Structure 1
């Protein structure tokens, strides 16, 4: 599925860029005072590092979702709800191609 492959490529590129950003923030923190609590720059660096890691982790989760959807394509289960087995509405898959449940089952969560 072309949309999933494109989303995978995008997520992979973003993870790679975010890994570089995290490495840059970590490298910058090496040059600062190790005592973040008393260093005015330390809190900013710690915050930037936490933000970069959080965004990277969200992109890694997105990448896992895309890979799971591609696996469903490979096994022939893509477009079927994992809970009830019904077909997932094409509109839902168009908007969110990584969906693994139908709207009814997703709303029960």
Structure 2
């Protein structure tokens, strides 16, 4: 792994765009669920939220993210931290996601 280049934030966001909430056909980045990414010594930490605190899919979503991030060459560890502040609202979604879900005003 030491021969692999260190992962970049762009690498992480590219992978996060492959992760979906199983109930909504839009990736987590465009849904506005990803609040931040840090990379330190080949370890990735993703800070995110979910659309609702009682989300039954939270374990599946976080495991999917971790599995995909660990597939990036050079990544040694990946963690997902779920936060509730600030709370998610549809206003955090990208314009493309709002169009896809037909939520434009």
Higher relative contact order (CA closer than 8 Å, sequence separation 6+): 2
Greater radius of gyration (CA): 1
Question: TM-score scaled by structure 1?
Answer: 0.28
Kindly indicate which of the two structures has a greater share of residues assigned to strand. Answer: 2
Question: TM-score scaled by structure 2?
Answer: 0.28
